[in-house]
Amino acid sequence: MTQAAEANPYAPQVARLSRVIDETPTIKTFCFDLEQPMEFRAGQFVQLGVPGLGEAPFTPSSSPLEPGHLEVTVLRTGGVTERLHRMGEGDVCTLRGPYGKGYPVEKLEGKDVVVVGGGVGLAPLRALIHVLLSMTDRLNKVVIKNGARESAELLFRRQYDEWAAHDKVSFEMTIDAPEPGWAGHVGVVTTVLEDLPNEVNVPNSYAFSCGPEIMLRFVTFALLEKGFQPEQIYLSMNRRMSCGIGKCGRCNIGPYYLCKDGPDMCYAQIKDYPNVF
């Protein structure tokens, strides 16, 4: 980014797509090889846009350990994402960021880490998983649970075996609507949390979840029921983050602006405010 653009926080850099990966019928991953690497923490987000149309907030799904190569995984669900999905290699996007706090990775030394994804929610969590996999020697255990509506919508399926192959890492997936021949687990993602107290040492754990709001709500209730304290639960909250820098006002939960204080919020911080879920 030029220095002038850096001094203007509303001005994005122009970035050319190096590759577009079809992930599921509704999700694509947009890849950028950036001239100037974008250093970010797992969980921080960027504003990715279509020139002249507008931008939307996404947490990168690529590894923060490779800041020169940025991947953003996008569900087709609105005006900007519709147009993004029609773009291909060589097309130009707008990009600014990173914004927000990111996951509190420094708290995880010696801990059991539970990662719960739902649908496209696994995208931001993949950035976290990359970081967790790079520091397994300092973690006690990583338990990944992923759910999707149907098997075709299971995101990053090509990487599940690779993740599960790591020492200290376990992976489990489930789908709501199985097709004939599906041999895996069936049910919403909370159904694979039932056995959690036997998989992790709950008082020594942190849980991170990202997915649709309704899923976050039930995952939170399930975790609380399994003995997690609100302080141990981090949720990727969904609000309309526009400016990204805590000025435009629209992404608040209580006194917190998700773009500045989140978008991953500790449940203890937000639980007493109305309209959280």
State the residues that interact with other proteins by CB under 8 A: 2, 4-5, 7-14, 49, 51-56, 77-81, 94, 212-214, 238-240, 242-243, 245-255, 260, 273-275
Nearer to other proteins, 8 or 229 (CB): 8
Q: How far is residue 128's CA from residue 208's CA, in Å, rounded to a whole number? A: 9
What are residue 10's phi and psi, to 5 degrees?
-90, -10
CB of 106 to other proteins, least distance (A): 19
Q: Which residues sit opposite 13 in a β-bridge?
A: 95
Based on CB atoms, which residue is closest to other proteins, 64 or 244? 244
Nearer to other proteins, 53 or 135 (CB): 53
Q: How far is Cα of residue 245 from the mean position of the Cα atoms in its chain?
A: 19
Which residue, 107 or 247, is less far from other proteins as judged by CB? 247
Q: How far is the CB of 2 from other proteins (least distance, A)?
A: 6
- The amino acid that residue 56 corresponds to is A
Q: Which is nearer to other proteins, 11 or 21 (CB)?
A: 11
Nearer to other proteins among residue 197 and residue 246 (C-beta): 246
CA-nearest of 113, 180, 108, 177 to 145 is 113
CB of 80 to other proteins, least distance (A): 7
CB 60 within 8 A of CB 69: no
State in angstroms the smallest separation of the CB of 21 from other proteins. Answer: 21
Please enumerate in sequence order all residues whose Cβ is within 8 A of that of 207, keeping only pairs 6 or more positions apart, or say none: 113, 114, 115, 116, 219, 223, 228, 232, 233, 234
On whether the CB atoms of residues 41 and 51 are closer than 8 A, the answer is no
The answer to whether 43 and 103 are in contact (CB under 8 A) is yes
Q: Rounded to the nearest whole angstrom, what is the least distance from the CB of residue 54 to other proteins in the complex? A: 5
Nearer to other proteins, 14 or 65 (CB): 14
What does 215-254 look like in DSSP terms, one character per residue? Answer: HHHHHHHHHHHTT--GGGEEEE------SSSS-S-TTEET
Query: CB of 132: closest distance to other proteins in angstroms?
Result: 26
Q: How far is the CB of 194 from other proteins (least distance, A)?
A: 25
Q: Is 213 helix (H, G, I), strand (E, B) or coil?
A: helix
